[in-house]
């Protein structure tokens, strides 16, 4: 076997592999014998089919398979041995003029094009300065969070008259252009949350209603959300988006979720017995929770600022034409238009991956299984806390995390998140970070800019 490499550009190379009969004949003969032992053919007992018969019937396909296996192993080993850093995967170069006998006596030559990763150094130092925002909880956000938590632990009542924030249990009937019930139209009984009504005029018409009151309402205009309308009417979102009719809303009941009292029983349910003993301690805990969520937003902005800055500073080239061909070869449904539109974003993400890998390699950063499990637990804990501020028991959270990571897609995604986190942590130990306090609304405006 003979393997050679020819550079065809700064970031391109062709690997030529020449295979002689001595390289594959033994493998082919063994595969034929193994096939003969397992073959079930008419006129022969199982395991008694002559190898010559199998060779005559399937020799060519077995030869092709074994040569392909040999090629894949040879190319992979060569890339590893030569320590070639490639992008994408090797692309076979097709040669219509080259013909093979495929008769176990032929010499084969195959050419593979490689896209090579560029060599570069990561330029990061203490001269690089970034703002690390400390986002403070504003009164409006804090009060909204407190209200939601108190309602989550509150009790349901049925007041006589509806108010903003109540839930109407009502019968909805589609009306025709004349204002009468539309024959064969949509009819459903559902709960309607008044806190989701976006049109102020319509909201005003739904406040002050009593049981058995009736009003006419444009649901699409009221909620401005096809998903909410679809759920209320038990129809598809597509049909909800196309609705042009008004509906008669007949109140069957008014429901109100009363906020829980700020007492010791409430505090103990939230934080554990005796952890919080008064309203001031409760507000301090909620402020800490809200600002912890804001901290995650601030960290995302800092990471994005570093990401964009390092990409601007590192302007190395990629084997673009090779990568475009590779993307087309590995994505049959990818059109030329889609490739043209999406390639710049692909190249940007690839450049960052190379920078990230370089930082990890240069600093001998390890990503352990325990790191991935811990990240999965944190992700799941945050999701559960959206519905209840009370934390799950540690053993239950760990069990959920293991189950979550059994899905390969989830495991890969969390691994990449841990990898990114460790990369940015390393960068932040080198660069200069300047902390700055900022109100939440100003931070949001800054983040959108």
Q: In 386-407, where does DSSP find H-type helix?
A: 394-405
CATH topology of domain 2-115: Alpha-Beta Plaits (3.30.70)
* CATH 1.10.3120 domain residues, the chain: 129-139+279-448
**pLDDT (0 to 100) of residue 393:** 84
CA distance 241 to 224: 9
Cβ atoms of 309 and 128 within 8 Å: the answer is: yes
* pLDDT tens-digit profile, the chain (449 residues): 899 999 999 999 999 999 998 998 899 889 888 888 888 788 777 777 788 887 888 888 888 899 999 999 999 999 999 999 999 999 998 776 666 667 666 888 899 999 999 999 999 999 999 999 999 888 888 898 898 888 888 888 999 999 998 999 999 999 998 999 999 999 999 999 999 999 999 999 999 999 999 999 999 999 999 999 999 999 999 999 999 999 999 999 999 988 899 999 999 988 888 999 999 999 999 999 888 889 989 999 999 999 999 999 998 999 999 999 999 999 989 999 999 999 999 999 999 999 999 999 999 999 999 999 999 998 898 888 766 666 778 888 899 999 999 999 999 999 999 999 999 999 999 999 999 999 888 888 887 76
The pLDDT value recorded for residue 97 is: 62
Select the CATH number that applies to the domain covering 155-258 from these four: 3.40.50.720, 3.90.700.10, 3.90.1150.10, 3.10.50.30.
3.10.50.30
- Rounded distance, CA 393 to CA 397, Å? 6
Which residue ranges does the chain devote to CATH 3.30.70.1050? 2-115
Q: HSE-up of 268 (CA within 13 Å, CB side)?
A: 5
pTM of full prediction above 0.85: no
Question: What pLDDT score was predicted for residue 272?
Answer: 85
Pairing of strands 187-193, 167-174: antiparallel
Q: Tokens in use for 362?
A: 């240069």
Pairing mode, if any, of strands 167-174 and 247-258? antiparallel
Kindly list the distances between the CA atom of residue 345 and the CA atoms of 185, 278, 339, 351, 364, in Å, as whole numbers in the listed order.
47, 52, 10, 10, 28
The confidence score (pLDDT) of residue 390 equals 66
> Checking DSSP bridges between strand 432-439 and strand 129-136, what pairing results, if any?
parallel
Say how far apart CA 345 and CA 320 lie, in whole Å.
12
- 129-139+279-448 is classed CATH 1.10.3120: yes
433 sits in which H/E element? strand 432-439
Look at residues 46, 66, 43 and name the one whose alpha carbon lies nearest to residue 55. 66
What is the secondary structure of 14-62 as a DSSP string?
A: EEEEEE-HHHHHHHHHHHHHHHHHH---TTS-TT---HHHHHHHHHHHH
The pLDDT value given to residue 448: 74
The whole-angstrom separation of Cα 199 and Cα 281 is 37
Q: Is 364 left (phi over 0), alpha (psi -120 to 50) or beta?
A: left
Domain with CATH 3.10.50.30 in the chain: 155-258
Q: What's residue 389's pLDDT?
A: 60
Which residue(s) pair with 167 in the sheet?
A: 193, 255
């Amino acid at each position: 076997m003979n393997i050679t490499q020819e550079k065809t550009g700064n970031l391109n190379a062709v690997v030529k592999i020449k295979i002689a009969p001595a390289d594959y004949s033994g493998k082919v003969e063994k595969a034929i014998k193994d096939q003969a032992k397992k073959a079930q053919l008419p006129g022969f007992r199982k395991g008694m089919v002559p190898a010559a018969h199998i060779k005559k019937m399937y020799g060519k396909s077995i030869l092709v398979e074994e040569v392909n296996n040999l090629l894949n192993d040879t190319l992979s080993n060569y890339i590893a041995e030569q320590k070639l850093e490639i992008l994408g995967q090797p692309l076979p170069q097709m040669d219509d003029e080259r013909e093979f006998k495929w008769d176990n006596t032929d010499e084969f030559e195959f050419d593979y094009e490689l896209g090579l990763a560029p060599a570069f150094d990561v330029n990061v130092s203490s001269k690089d300065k970034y703002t690390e925002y400390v986002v403070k909880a504003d009164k409006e956000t804090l009060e909204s969070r407190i209200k939601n938590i108190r309602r989550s632990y509150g009790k349901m009542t049925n007041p006589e008259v509806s108010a903003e924030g109540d839930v109407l249990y009502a019968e909805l009937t589609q009306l025709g252009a004349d204002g009468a019930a539309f024959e064969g139209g949509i009819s459903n009984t559902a709960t309607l949350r008044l806190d989701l009504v976006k049109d102020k005029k319509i909201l005003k018409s739904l406040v002050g209603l009593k049981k058995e009151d009736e009003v006419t309402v444009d649901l699409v205009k009221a909620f401005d959300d096809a998903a909410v309308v679809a759920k209320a009417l038990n129809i598809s979102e597509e049909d909800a988006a196309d609705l042009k009719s008004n509906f008669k809303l007949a109140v069957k009941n008014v429901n109100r979720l009363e906020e829980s009292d700020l007492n010791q029983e409430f505090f103990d349910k939230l934080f554990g017995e005796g952890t919080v003993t008064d309203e001031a301690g409760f507000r301090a805990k909620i402020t800490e929770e809200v600002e912890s969520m804001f901290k995650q937003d601030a960290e995302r902005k800092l990471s994005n600022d570093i990401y964009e800055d390092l990409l601007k500073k590192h302007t190395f080239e990629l084997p673009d034409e090779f990568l475009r061909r590779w993307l087309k070869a590995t994505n049959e449904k990818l059109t030329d238009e889609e490739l043209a539109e999406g390639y710049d974003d692909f190249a940007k993400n690839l450049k960052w991956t190379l920078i990230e890998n370089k930082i990890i390699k240069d600093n001998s950063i390890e990503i352990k299984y325990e790191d991935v499990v811990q990240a999965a637990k944190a992700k799941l804990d945050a999701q559960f806390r959206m519905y209840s501020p009370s934390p799950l028991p540690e053993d239950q959270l760990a069990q959920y995390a293991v189950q979550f990571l059994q899905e390969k897609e989830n495991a890969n995604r969390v691994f990449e998140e841990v990898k990114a986190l460790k990369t940015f942590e390393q960068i932040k130990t080198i660069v200069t970070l300047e902390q700055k306090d900022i109100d939440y609304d100003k931070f949001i405006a800054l983040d959108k800019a």
